[in-house]
Structure 1
Amino acid sequence: MQDLPKHLWHNLPEEDALAALKTDHHEGLSHDQVEERRRLFGANSISAQQGIHPFKRFLLQFHNPLIYILLVAVGVTFLLAEYIDSAVILAVVLANAIIGFVQEAKAEEAINSLKSMLSSEATVIRDGQRQTVQATELVPGDIVLLASGDKVPADMRLFKCRDLQVDESALTGESVAVQKERTQLEQDTVLADRINMAFAGTLATYGSGAGVVIATGDDTETGKIADMISQAVSLDTPLTQKIKAFSRILLIVILALAAITFGVGLLHGQTWVDTFIAAVALSVAAIPEGLPAVVTITLAIGVRRMALRNAIIRKLPAVETLGSTTIICSDKTGTLTENQMTVQKIMAGGRLYEVSGSGYQPEGELRTQDDHTLQPDTVPEPLHQCLLTGLLCNDSRVLEAEGQWHVEGDPTEGALITSAQKAGLDRSELERKHQRLDTIPFESDRQYMATLHRYTDDAHIMLIKGSLEQVLARCQDALDSAGKASALDSETITKTADQFADQGLRVLAFAARTVPTDTADLNSLEQTENEPVLTFLGLQAMIDPPREEAIQAVATCQKAGIDVKMITGDHALTARAIAGQIGIRNPDPEGGERQVLTGRQLEQMTDHELLDAAERVSVFARVAPEQKLKLVTALQAHRHVVAMTGDGVNDAPALKKADIGVAMGIAGTEVSKEAADMVLTDDNFATIEAAVEEGRTVFDNLVKFITWILPTNLGQGLVIMVAILISATLPVLPVQALWLNMTTAVFLGLMLAFEPREAGIMTRPPRSPDSPILSGEMIGRIVSVSTLLLIGAFSLFQWAQALGESNEVARTLAVTLFVVVQSVFLLNCRSLTVSLFRTPAFSNPWIWGGIATMLLVQLAYIYTPVMNTLFQSAPLTPLHWAIMLAYGALVLLLIEGEKALWRHHKNRNAESGKVE
């Protein structure tokens, strides 16, 4: 039993499957067999994932090269009895660690959520007796009985189906319930087409059935998905990758400068203690301690903004990742579509009609081919009869709850009810008028449903709906446009049905027959295939329609250089039709217009062919969960930043593997939400467009912040290094450097996080994943401002000493000049390309509040005795302030001039056709 390959169960005859499992469909397993198999296979539950211990997660916050330098500085300054310096540095390190720990994504809960997918109880046959047991007690070989409303408790091979329909949308992406059949399937049948199987966690929506358990717990298809989730490695985001690379470079530069400083100090005859303090001062000054905190806070602000636009961020870096997304892989059902079947086209009386509206909400209208809208009192008789049949030959209900319309029963039947209501038909009134007398339920081998109703005092009416082949075979004539019986034109009807099917529409045929009350008998329908007696009424063609807002959102994403791909478990024709309506196109013109690849085709591809197909094709249908995962991996191999949207259990592994996983908040399963980085509260694909816009804004603001903060650190480092090189007194002490770094980052730099998005942000292409955080232009600006800070601070320090001022006053001058220059440079950085004088002055009032707050804090640093003691500062005179403010104004004008030169350079390149 254990040696049988699991993928062969659907390929085995029923008797062979039962024999392989050593069970009997009448008697089931014996008590001893159950106990033995429970020891062998364990409980029917999914293993929980081992999370990271909170203490370990806290320690990981210190796993950063720049933090290592600060921790060394803490230890050395403490040993040298510089207790204030040591305490301040340690406080900064701990603050950053706590912020990171609090914002860390909580331990993975997706697999625990999968445990709730399994039913709590199951009805089984054991020892020949019908029993109700806990689902966790099921073992392979158990005989399980299913009824409408039951959650399937384990993977099963079905050997009994009575009109059994199972909703597998959460597992396979199939948009309608699957009709299950007793049949033997080909070995290569994909998961979504295994109609002789029922899978754990899916829901029986209609009929009844029975099957033998072939897999439990981790061995079920749901369990396999859980395993894929646990194995899918969450990749670093583009931002975290760039920050790590940036930190490594900064570490090397800082250590090199510190080593040079230490060596030069010793060569100049200074003691090793003084030289080491100078090296520590340089290191502390050059490290942007405020960077981790401000990056975290900036992302948190982006989270708040996105929440206001119906996007809930579960993991902070996802905010920025959206901004660099190059491909969105979207599920179809419920994401790009309404997840509500809707009749769109009708043929009745030889004429075609269009039906507007979407979903089960009875709002819309019927139009003729010449775009004439039909009123309830002008509906032609053939169309009325076709709609009436769909309404009465129907076992489902469409209901409204809390403003949302939904179907109880089969989605296809729900669509027929809604189309009839759009034409003004009142179901309650018609059911009273035409009381149902008998029913033949739909069965897969019959392919139709029939009902018998009272019609007149001396006649009843048979109504039938089903597949075109079965209904047409029983028809002898058809209603013409005037509602009269006429010759049946089977060829034209079939051609029309084929045209509907080519558009991805699901087609149902309708027929009727009036019979005398004394001879009315539905059983006679079984013989009518050989002796046609029905009148053909028409066709209704339906589809799960695309969301209107999704069409616009896809177009906007494509305009922004983001390719949209559809990856669905639904049929290829349906996927092609929806892709056409939404506007999804292949990025490769040679790939064919909306070429569709199926899961079976992907399965036959080599790894190289799969890599090529993932890049070239935009629509994938009948795709299994592991293939979704492979497609995302293939796209990432092409250096794409991949966003994956979805709502089902089958989407969870790919959601976790993608750079950014986007789950649906309303229709999504808990599994998909836990695996995702972002959840859409309105299930609206258009919200992704807004989130991408916010993500790009967040990254822009982070670049502005980094461009602004680095001159402070580089400038301080240069000031200290020059002082060492010429054997001068240090213009900035380590504790003063920390004061500068933290206060300016929080009160000045953080204000850039509130900058509104710049014009044209959604018309430029996505950033290349390989591009550095800072461009050559930004690096040049950082060097320019750092040099200006070096010149200004060192000159002021030397000038003050030349006038006989104390070291405390001279250092306070140097530190405050940094504050002044950083304040005016903050205004320059509101846009890295547009002139400050063209930027609306009050579009970001936080900037002015930050500058005012920083001024008050710096005044306290200068003029309060406590701060003078802690930071060795001293009061300044009005002359000092006048010189510093004048220098700040000079820096502002020089940077604006540099920006103007860059704009002129770019415009010349654009005019000459050069690409930078």
Structure 2
Amino acid sequence: MAQSKLITDDYAQLTATKFYDDLQTKQTGLTAAQAAQRLQQVGPNTIQQTQSRSQLKAFLKNFTSLMALLLWVSGLIAMFTGMLELGIAIWAVNLINGCFSFWQEHAAQKATDSLKAMLPTYTQVLRDGHTQQINATELVPGDVFLIQAGNSISADARIMQATSLQVDESALTGESLAVDKQAAYAKGEGRFAERNIVYAGTVAVSGTATAVAVQTGMQTEFGQIAALTQHQKTTVSPLTTELNRLTRQISLIAILIGLVFFVAAIFFVHYPIAKSFIFALGMIVAFIPEGLLPTVTLSLAQGVTRMSKRHALVKELSSVETLGETTVICSDKTGTLTQNQMTINHVWLPQQTYKVSGEGYVNNGHLTLTDQPVDLTSDNDFTLLLRIAALDNDTDIKPGQTTAKPKIMGTPTEAAHLILAQKAGLDLDQLRQTYPRIQELPFDSDRKRMTTLHTQPDGTTVIYVKGALDSTLALCDTILDHGTVRPLTTADTERINQANQHYAAQGLRSLAFAYRPFDGSHDLPDDPANCTIANTEQHLTFIGLTVMADPPRPEIYAAVEKCRRAQIRIIMVTGDSPLTAKSVATKIGITSDQARVVTGDELSAMSDDALQTAVKGEVIFARVAPEQKYRIVQANQHNGEIVASTGDGVNDAPALKQADIGIAMGVTGTDVAKDAADMILTDDNFASIVAAIEEGRTVYSNLQKFLLYILNSNVPEAIPSVLFLFSRGLIPLPLTVMQILTVDLGTDMLPALGLGAEAGEPGVMDQPPRARDAHLLNKTIIWKAFGWYGLFASALSTFAYFFVNWTNGWPQVALSASGNTYVLATTMTLAAIVFCQIAAAINCRTTYNSVFTVGLFSNRRIWWGILFEVVLLAALMYVPVLQGLFNTTAIASRDWAFLLCLPIPLVLIEEGRKALVRHWQA
């Protein structure tokens, strides 16, 4: 087949003959041989993944980050200094952590892949002049295929014949209302609006059609957006950037400290260069936080686990923390903020307005018709409108299994009217038997009406009409008012139009209802079978309006309020109309009435600078195209925002990929959207995003608590070496390098991991997002680690060292670097540091709140970690092999009593400081 240069839109305007010629096909379809040849030329009708995931690359990336590389070097240094066991331990920690990270991300990716099921499996095509069922992947340009209600559409195609066809294009446009399609060309409003073109990935909700495939696979609009998404560069997460920065900071600090100790060892202690170098290398290893990477991974993994229990599937661990930084959420409306389910909320009659609720109907502020069914024998104005809504209707509702939602077989608008009738107590099956349909004049987009004829219980025939107000009211010359049919006056028409405009200003949609007795008057045919649009849809009696909307999700109000308290802005980005978008945004509290509404056309004319200015204020984007959503995300990022973008359609995928955190809907989301997203909501619940943000903030806070915990032990580890150096060796090392590494890799590790599992503190969502230039290692943490926790621990551990020496004759007896006294002194120094770290683990659990308010024993991981470090310390003291390796010895019961009392004053002093801080903040 010759490759045509015409795009899909151009095919819409060709004559049928020219169209068939251009595609080299015919009304009876392709032959099997032609189809096979074209399939070989254009390839299968699939959305190909241009960037295949390399499992090896995904595995290796966990071992090549800056922190991982630093651990490899640290282990090598430890081996070089003669501490082979500790070098191997450091490498083992790195290996275990890398495998754990890979397993977490691989499990999340497998769960994501299992959600993919966008394109249909089979399609009905005409091949060799006969209808055949083929796999949708075998569909090729030029294939003639059939469309029926409920079918997913497998290719971009032109409609050649259609009967009452309506298509749900929300996957492409974000618009929840079904679109009318027909064989004749008509240019609609916006993109994807040609009346005689259907697109891959959309769904036929009613009617039938015959169409000819124009583009398949990656050449479809669906595929083009997928390709745009796949070729985007994946951005580095803020957490990864911050960890890289922190690694560089710590590496620089460790190297500078090592250099200082190297010079001091040479000039103050007069060590040989080789010995000074080994001493300095040991100090460098001591200052590297070997537990940082596993703690980060564990904190993120636990956040992932907690989120999965709350219906949020995170594909990459770092995405959890990124959510905690979020300052702006660019959210789609349909199906994300709203339920993607049309609902009747008002019934307007000339003499009465009913407000519809889930409980019944509110009439003049009083609840009525709640516990009693509608009297079907009473033909009042209200029940007549309900009857027409239920009978002039081609949709059906199938009950869901157990707790599943009912399945809608047809359009959401008609389904809303069936639900309205059910709320009023009507039995739909009984109603259809009582008023059987005998004729139908199907809905079409030109006249915007649907008409059905029914036999009434008395044997007479009645005509029921529903449609757009402007086209239906023009055919009415009478009005039903309090059960009486009277002439329709100019005043009536004005009042009806004013009511309609009032609802339209609120972003609501209306549908008009009318009827006409089939009584042979006004040129009606004798036989209902001879009814036509021309002789039937005239001289109607107007009854009233139904008013509907896609309602917000019930939980959205609390979620939006939580975002407001957390100072996170929500920007609605939708393909829906400006009126509807602003109405929903105002109703749920995203914006005020003063918000600016920018349409897609206005956005196209905006410069990047103008757009960046616009997104800083209260703004709503309506009628936007896919690439425009992408621009909106970029504009926010240019302003320094951390952007989360939500969505479910193909049109959302580029924005999801560009955003710092892309969030796709798992139930209604398309294949492309799920692939582009960092997180998938398995229940499509916006509130889960807010919960994820809370988890992200908790994870970041826990990382800072971990940093505070491990850094404060560096001070009492360094002070003994400082005393040794600046006394020019007169004070033997109170703590050996082996004992320093024991604290870092042994006793500190499990309590630090426990801090990574700490629950969020109260009020975590009442704080603004942290500044973009904020860092994990900040001045507060440095001061608390080195000038507060570290200072107390240094004083107490140094006191323990000199106290042991004092009880054994010092200062009368000179300090010695050998003998039982020296071994006992270093053991007590090590033990004092460990017990000061027990207090630090408890104190680091909260930043401002009292640890007693969150529950002293609520975090069991920390207490298991504390128990482990005490047991490990005891093993170092009492196991002979370990005594020789770590230069330790057994201590007396009075020494244990001293150690057990150490954490108590440290916890109480810190509680006092936190109380003062809370008082000052208040």
The TM-score normalised by the length of structure 1 is 0.89
SS of the aligned residue for 2:456 comes to strand
Contact 1:340 1:545 in 2 (8 A): yes
Are the aligned partners of 1:165 and 1:205 in contact in 2 as well (CA < 8 Å)? yes
> Residues 467 and 898 from structure 1, CA distance in 2 versus in 1: closer, same or farther, beyond 3 angstroms?
closer
Answer yes or no: is 1:572 the counterpart of 2:578: yes
Please state whether the residue corresponding to 2:147 is helix, strand or coil.
strand
Deviation at 1:844, TM superposition (A): 4.1
Q: Which residue of 1 aligns with 2:443?
A: 442
Q: Letter of the aligned partner of 1:392 in structure 2?
A: L
Give yes or no for contact 2:165–2:204 (8 Å, CA) kept in 1.
Answer: yes
Question: Displacement, 1:271?
Answer: 3.2
- AA of the residue aligned to 1:205: V
- Matched with 1:793 is 797
Residues 9-28 of structure 1 aligned to structure 2 (within 5 Å): 9=10, 12-15=13-16, 18=19, 21-26=22-27, 28=29
Is contact 2:108–2:313 with CA below 8 Å preserved after alignment?
no
Most deviating of 801-810 and 288-297? 801-810
Q: Give the counterpart letter for 1:250 in structure 2.
A: I
Equivalent in 502, 512, 521 of residue 528 of structure 2: 521
* Change over 3 Å in CA distance of 1:557–1:5 after alignment to 2: farther
Written as runs of structure 1 = structure 2, the 5 A alignment for 1:473-492 is 473-488=474-489, 489-492=492-495
Alignment partner, residue 103 of structure 1 = 104
1:201-240 matches, cutoff 5 A: 201-240=201-240
1:126-167 Cα shifts (integer Å, max 9, x gaps)? 676655544333333444332333322211233433222222
Deviations 1:12-38 (A, max 9, x none): 444597278343543655777656654
Closer, same or farther: CA 851–556 of 1 in aligned 2, 3 Å? same
Return the letter of the residue paired with 2:174. Answer: G
- Name the CA shift for 1:273/1:800 in 2 (closer, same or farther; >3 Å): farther
Q: Secondary structure at the match of 1:281?
A: helix
* Cα-to-partner distance string for 1:817-859 (whole Å, 9 max, x where unaligned): 2111111122222322245576654454554444334322321
Which one of 368, 379, 391 corresponds to residue 373 of structure 1? Answer: 368
Q: Shift of the alpha carbon at 1:756?
A: 3.9
Aligned with 1:61: secondary structure? helix
Cα gap change, 1:697 to 1:483, in 2 (>3 Å):
farther
From the superposition, tell whether residues 51 and 255 of structure 1 become closer, same or farther in structure 2 (CA, over 3 Å). farther
The one-letter code sitting in structure 2 at the alignment partner of 1:736 is Q
CA distance in 2, matches of 1:720, 1:185: 84
Shift in Å, 1:183: 4.7
CA distance, structure 1, for counterparts of residue 108 and residue 560 of structure 2: 33
Task: Identify the range of structure 1 (163-172 vs 870-879) with the bigger mean alpha-carbon deviation.
Answer: 870-879
**CA distance in 2: counterparts of 1:255 and 1:193, whole angstroms:** 64
CA contact (8 A) 1:152 1:204 kept: yes
Shift of 1:199: 1.2
Q: Which stretch of the first structure deviates more once superposed, 347-356 or 842-851?
A: 842-851
**How many pairs does the alignment contain?**
894
What is the CA–CA distance in structure 1 between the aligned matches of 2:129 and 2:112, rounded to whole Å? 35
Contact 1:824–1:888 (8 Å) recurs in 2: yes
Which residue in the other structure is 2:683 paired with?
A: 682
* Structure 2 residue 501 is the aligned partner of structure 1 residue 503: no
Q: Is 1:533 paired with 2:533?
A: no
Alignment partner, residue 828 of structure 2: 813
Query: Deviation digits for residues 491-543 of structure 1, max 9, x if unmatched?
Result: 222222222222222221111122249935265452258x9322112111111
Whole-Å Cα distance in 2 between the matches of residues 474 and 189 of structure 1? 26
3-state DSSP of counterpart to 2:433: helix
Q: Calculate the aligned-residue CA RMSD, in Å.
A: 3.3
What residue is the counterpart of 1:387 in the other structure? Answer: 386
CA displacement 1:264-306 (0-9 Å, x = unmatched): 3344442344223212221221111112112222223333333
Q: Separation in 2 of the partners of 1:523 and 1:858?
A: 98
Is the CA contact 2:115–2:666 (under 8 Å) kept in the aligned structure 1? no
Matched residue SS, 1:224: helix
1:383 CA displacement: 1.0
Offset at residue 392 of structure 1 (A):
0.9
Distance 1:755 1:87, change over 3 A: closer
Write the letter of the residue equivalent to 2:526.
T
The amino acid of 2:566's aligned partner reads: A
Q: Is the Cα contact below 8 Å between 1:10 and 1:196 reproduced in 2?
A: no
For residues 832 and 61 of structure 1, do their structure 2 counterparts lie closer, same or farther at Cα, with a shift above 3 Å needed?
same
Residue 251 of structure 2 aligns with which residue? 251
Are 1:862 and 2:877 an aligned pair? yes
Q: 2:812 is matched with which residue? A: none
Offset from partner CA, 1:286-341 (integer Å, 9 cap, x none): 11111211222222333333344443433322333333221222222222112211
Moved more, 793-802 or 93-102: 793-802
1:762 partner SS: helix
Q: Distance in 1 between matches of 2:150 and 2:493?
A: 39
Question: In structure 1, what is the Cα distance between the partners aligned to 2:144 and 2:397?
Answer: 35
Given that residues 46 and 114 in structure 1 are in contact (C-alpha distance below 8 angstroms), is that contact kept between their aligned partners in structure 2?
no
Q: Give the equivalent residue in structure 2 for 1:280.
A: 281
C-alpha change, 1:128 and 1:562, in structure 2 (3 Å) is: same
Moved more, 536-545 or 261-270: 261-270
Q: Secondary structure at the match of 2:444?
A: coil
User: Which amino acid letter does the alignment assign opposite residue 843 of structure 2?
Assistant: N
Matches within 5 A, 1:322-721: 322-357=323-358, 364-374=359-369, 376-377=373-374, 381-401=380-400, 402-403=402-403, 404-488=405-489, 489-516=492-519, 519-521=526-528, 523-528=530-535, 532-585=538-591, 593-720=594-721
Residue pair 1:480, 1:486 contacting (<8 A) in 2 also:
no
Partner Cα separation in structure 2 for residue 838 and residue 391 of structure 1: 58
Distance 2:261 2:60 in 1: 31
Alignment CA distance shift 1:837-1:575 (3 Å):
closer
AA aligned opposite 1:657 = Q
Pair 93,714 (structure 1): closer, same or farther in 2 beyond 3 Å: farther
Shift of 1:418: 1.1
Choose 620-629 or 335-344, whichever is displaced more.
Answer: 620-629
Supply the AA of the counterpart residue of 1:261.
F
More deviation, 399-408/518-527: 518-527
Residues 512 and 534 in structure 1, CA contact (< 8 A), matched pair in contact too? yes
3-state SS of 2:763 partner: coil
Deviation sequence 1:339-380 (CA, Å, 0-9, x none)? 2111111122432211112xxxxxx31222444524545788
Mapped partners of 2:552, 2:21: distance in 1:
45
Q: TM-score, normalised by structure 2?
A: 0.89
Residue aligned with 1:333, SS? coil
SS of structure 2 residue aligned to 1:191 = coil
State the distance in 1 between where 2:108 and 2:361 align.
52
670-679 vs 489-498, greater mean Cα deviation: 670-679
Retained in 1: the 8 A contact 2:8–2:215?
no
Tell me the alpha carbon deviations over residues 739-764 of structure 1, each in whole angstroms, 9 at most, x when there is no partner: 31233444322333454433332222
Residue identity in the other structure for 1:874: T
Moved more, 50-59 or 437-446: 50-59
Contact 2:4 2:22 in 1 (8 A): no
Using the alignment, how far apart are the partners of 2:656 and 2:622 within structure 1? Answer: 18
- 1:727–1:898 distance in 2 versus 1, CA, 3 Å: farther
Q: Which structure 1 segments of 5+ residues have no match?
A: 358-363, 587-591, 908-916
- Change over 3 Å in CA distance of 1:484–1:745 after alignment to 2: farther
Q: Structure 1 vs Structure 2: percent identity of aligned residues?
A: 37
Cα separation, partners in 2 of 1:430 and 1:146, compared to 1, 3 Å: closer
Question: How far apart are residue 628 of structure 1 and its match?
Answer: 2.1
Please give the residue correspondences for 1:141-220 in structure 2 after superposition, counting only pairs within 5 Å.
141-184=142-185, 190-220=190-220
- Partners in 2 of 1:689 and 1:133 — Cα distance? 44
Structure 2 unpaired stretches of 5+: 806-814
Give 3-state SS (helix, strand or coil) of 1:71's partner: helix
**1:278–1:720 CA contact under 8 A, matched in 2:** no
